[in-house]
Amino acid sequence: MTTRHADVAREMARLATEIERHNYLYYVKDDPVVPDAEYDRLLRELEKLEKAHPELAADDSPTRRVGARADEGFREVTHEIPMLSLANAFDPEEVAEFDERIRRRLECEVVEYVAEPKLDGLAVSLLYENGRLVRGATRGDGRAGEDVTANVRVIRSIPLKLRGEKLPTRLEVRGEVLMTRKGFERLNRRQDENDGKRYANPRNAAAGSLRQLDPAITAQRPLEFYAYGTGVFDGVKWPETHAGVLELLGEFGLRTNPHREVVEGLDGLLRAWESLNARRDELPYEIDGVVYKVNDLALQERLGFVSRAPRWALAHKFAAQEELTRVRAIEVQVGRTGAITPVARLEPVFVGGVTVSNATLHNYDEIKRLDVRVGDSVIVRRAGDVIPEVVSVLHERRPKNSREWNFPEKCPVCGSDIVFDEGGVIARCSGGLFCDAQVKETIKHFASRRAMDIEGLGSKLVEQMVDAGVIKTVADIFELDKETLVSLERLGEKSADNLLAAIDAARKTTLPRFLFALGIPQIGETTAGQLASYFGHLDAIMSAGEEALQEVPDIGPVVAHNVVEFFAQDHNREVIDALVDKAKIAWPAVQRVADDARLKGKTFVLTGSLSGMSRTEAREKLVALGAKVSSSVSGKTDYVVAGADPGSKLDKAERLGVAVIDEDALMEMLQ
């Protein structure tokens, strides 16, 4: 063997050992230390080396098995028909090759597929004999898994008896057991309270919950099941397509995923992927891609499988939402109300579709819980529009000389003392409007789209103007002149003119917007709207006591206190006077909601986009008629207004039997 050969062999052995260790942590312990993306990379790297040097590939290489053997404690179940694995694709080219391969083998022009969400749970097999559930097993390594019959029996979406007259004598249903995001968060909170182990993500929580030796524990875990296919079946006429099989399983009383779609050809596949990718975060559970399957079962049979994966199926993955990177520094950020948030400055990493270089650490408690230090390797997560966060630390990779991070005692921006609230969790800068960070955030919020909507007055410009001493309060915005603006770096004449016009336009606003723009702690758009319609006038709100404020729907003692506190501050009153008297900010009179208002006491939820007005306008109009507009659907919701491309709120409304109306019906109500 040459030196180079020996090096390659050593590298392959290293990769194999590393992958096996991750396999053990993932499959046996349900407690992985690296994100899936890192695991996939290791596996692909080993595969690449094995391809280039087949003579060095070990017979027992981890690339040759997917999954893991059973842990002790559960009886082993050998699957009568092996549970195959899925080939992966990460980009459209790989999907095109998949479709081409199939068309070539079948010698046909267009293939019909089913595209279904790839649920991020764990695969299980359920055996029904004469309609009764007799056995549940994990997939394990595909050949054999663990007998988890007692545990699957406690999952409510798994029927113990199938419905219908003509039932198969034997039927093996295959599907995924998963935990919803909400269920996962609830579980971790409960684990924290009981000093139990936290789970890294919903999938591990599902796996850990299903593989409890005591089914009573499994019963307390919010697990759900969705069927995606079958193994053995005897005794009934069988459908000719995969879509037909799913339909039939539904008739038997099994839950199948409603977001599946029958599509044609490569275009159909990619469109389905785009659509699910866009709606990924609206689903109540995590999905990590789309599974494509040839619809016709006879064609599936003709295609067969290679090395344990069917040729007729493919998992087209989404961008990973978790990645591995390193913490360069830990700093704190000061928010609008002085709340101080620690943030990790990271080595930039591509995750969730964007490059991330900052992640929130939430608060001091979280830092202690994670035990994170500068120099640590961490897993960052970015899901949808949610702020990226550090989810865990790879303590075994910690550099030797690292030191514990201590919360600063002084505000890094203004030098004032940092104080902690009673609970000791939330830190605040005590500098108030003496703190430039708070001033900047207050002004940014005031100018933002949903507040005063001053176009062109963005984050960077506000910071520049505060740093230059051009503005100190939100009222100063309305004193700006062209000369001052063009003296600022990066602001040309044209932009200055546009900005002045936008500022002028903002003088005409609405009372709810104005109240929201003031940035009173915990007063969001909804509460601002309710305050406006309950009191009708700004003066009335400013002079209301805590008791009167609590008469407003949804305002409790804490928010009422915040409002009183805010208006009690001289500097806030001065700014409001300057805005109203000097800057001439004005709004149309607000109709107080009469006790007999038409929509009084009705709760609405808006979803999807409206064509005739913005959601903000719709909300204002509804509130003016006495309605409450909520952000989530519950049993208390009276109407869900579904615009174009509605999200999961619509599904939920349908599930709960809440009335759903379209934009036309809404317009009629608003007339």
Q: Tell me the catalytic residues.
A: 118
Question: Applying CB under 6 A, which part among 116-124, 206-214, 396-404, 474-482 lies near ligand D41?
Answer: 116-124
Q: Mind spelling out the 3-state secondary structure of 532-548? A: HHHHCCHHHHHHCCHHH
Burial class (CB within 10 angstroms; exposed 0-12, middle 13-18, buried 19+) of 171: buried
**Which is closer to ligand D41, CB of 37 or CB of 585?**
37
CB of 120 to ligand D41, least distance (A): 7
Question: Applying CB under 6 A, which part among 47-55, 102-110, 112-120, 159-167 lies near ligand D41?
Answer: 112-120
User: x/- contact string, 370-409, with ligand D41 (CB under 6 A)?
Assistant: ----------------------------------------
CB of 64 to ligand D41, least distance (A): 16
Distance of CA 172 to the CA centre of its chain: 33
Question: Applying CB under 6 A, which part among 78-86, 217-225, 561-569, 592-600 lies near ligand D41?
Answer: 78-86
Which residues inside 576-595 make contact with ligand D41, applying CB under 6 A? none
Instruction: State yes or no: residue 123 binds ligand D41 (CB under 6 A).
Output: yes
**DSSP letters spanning 97-113:** HHHHHHHHHHT-S--EE
8 A C-beta contact, residue 410 and residue 430:
no
Instruction: Return all residues near 112 (Cβ < 8 A) that are at least 6 apart.
Output: 262, 263, 264, 294, 295, 296
Exposure class string for 263-294: b at 16+ Cβ within 10 A, else e? beebebbbebbeebbeebbebebbbbbbbbbb
**Which is closer to ligand D41, CB of 168 or CB of 342?**
168
Among 23, 61, 63, 85, binds ligand D41 (CB under 6 A): 85
CB of 84 to ligand D41, least distance (A): 4
Q: How far is CA 37 from CA 117, 162, 350, 437, in A?
A: 19, 38, 11, 37
Among 291, 320, 629, 653, binds ligand D41 (CB under 6 A): 291
User: x/- contact string, 174-213, with ligand D41 (CB under 6 A)?
Assistant: --x-------------------------------------
Instruction: State yes or no: residue 313 binds ligand D41 (CB under 6 A).
Output: yes
Query: Dihedral, CA atoms, 607, 612, 616, 619, nearest 10 degrees?
Result: -70
Instruction: State yes or no: residue 114 binds ligand D41 (CB under 6 A).
Output: no
**Which is closer to ligand D41, CB of 84 or CB of 154?**
84
| φ, ψ at 227 (rounded to 5°) | -80, 140
CB of 85 to ligand D41, least distance (A): 5
**Which is closer to ligand D41, CB of 86 or CB of 344?**
86
CB of 473 to ligand D41, least distance (A): 54
Q: How many other C-beta atoms lie within 10 A of the C-beta of residue 402?
A: 13
8 A C-beta contact, residue 60 and residue 229:
no
- Among 343, 357, 344, 347, smallest CA distance to 325 is for 347
8 A C-beta contact, residue 100 and residue 269:
no
Distance between CA atoms of 513 and 519, rounded to whole angstroms? Answer: 10
Among 79, 118, 316, 317, binds ligand D41 (CB under 6 A): 118
CB of 309 to ligand D41, least distance (A): 7
CB of 256 to ligand D41, least distance (A): 10
Which residues is 640 bridged to in the sheet? 605, 660
Distance of CA 98 to the CA centre of its chain: 30
CB of 122 to ligand D41, least distance (A): 8
Question: Applying CB under 6 A, which part among 54-62, 114-122, 514-522, 564-572 lies near ligand D41?
Answer: 114-122
Instruction: State yes or no: residue 663 binds ligand D41 (CB under 6 A).
Output: no
Instruction: Return all residues near 574 (Cβ < 8 A) that are at least 6 apart.
Output: none
Instruction: State yes or no: residue 246 binds ligand D41 (CB under 6 A).
Output: no
Question: Applying CB under 6 A, which part among 81-89, 192-200, 349-357, 632-640 lies near ligand D41?
Answer: 81-89
SS3 content of the chain, % helix, strand, coil (to 5): 40, 20, 40
Question: Applying CB under 6 A, which part among 80-88, 328-336, 539-547, 654-662 lies near ligand D41?
Answer: 80-88
Burial class (CB within 10 angstroms; exposed 0-12, middle 13-18, buried 19+) of 48: exposed
Query: Interhelix angle for 92-106 vs 265-279, to 10°?
Result: 150
**Which is closer to ligand D41, CB of 65 or CB of 450?**
65
Among 82, 215, 265, 310, binds ligand D41 (CB under 6 A): 310
Instruction: State yes or no: residue 35 binds ligand D41 (CB under 6 A).
Output: no
Question: Applying CB under 6 A, which part among 113-121, 217-225, 372-380, 394-402 lies near ligand D41?
Answer: 113-121
Instruction: State yes or no: residue 228 binds ligand D41 (CB under 6 A).
Output: yes
Compute how many residues bind ligand D41; rule: CB under 6 A: 15
Classify 364 as helix, strand or coil.
Answer: helix
Among 16, 37, 84, 462, binds ligand D41 (CB under 6 A): 84
Instruction: State yes or no: residue 141 binds ligand D41 (CB under 6 A).
Output: no
Instruction: State yes or no: residue 86 binds ligand D41 (CB under 6 A).
Output: yes
Among 38, 116, 141, 323, binds ligand D41 (CB under 6 A): 116
Instruction: Return all residues near 582 (Cβ < 8 A) that are at least 6 apart.
Output: 475, 478
Q: Which amino acid type is present at position 208?
A: G
Distance between CA atoms of 127 and 227, rounded to whole angstroms? Answer: 12
Helices (H), 468-595: 482-486, 493-506, 511-517, 525-535, 538-543, 546-549, 557-568, 570-577
CB of 117 to ligand D41, least distance (A): 6
Burial class (CB within 10 angstroms; exposed 0-12, middle 13-18, buried 19+) of 389: buried
CB of 160 to ligand D41, least distance (A): 23
**DSSP letters spanning 432-478:** GGGSHHHHHHHHHHHHSTTTT--TT--HHHHHHHHHTTS-SSGGGGG
Contact residues: ligand D41, CB under 6 A:
84-86, 116, 118-119, 123, 139, 176, 228-229, 291, 293, 310, 313
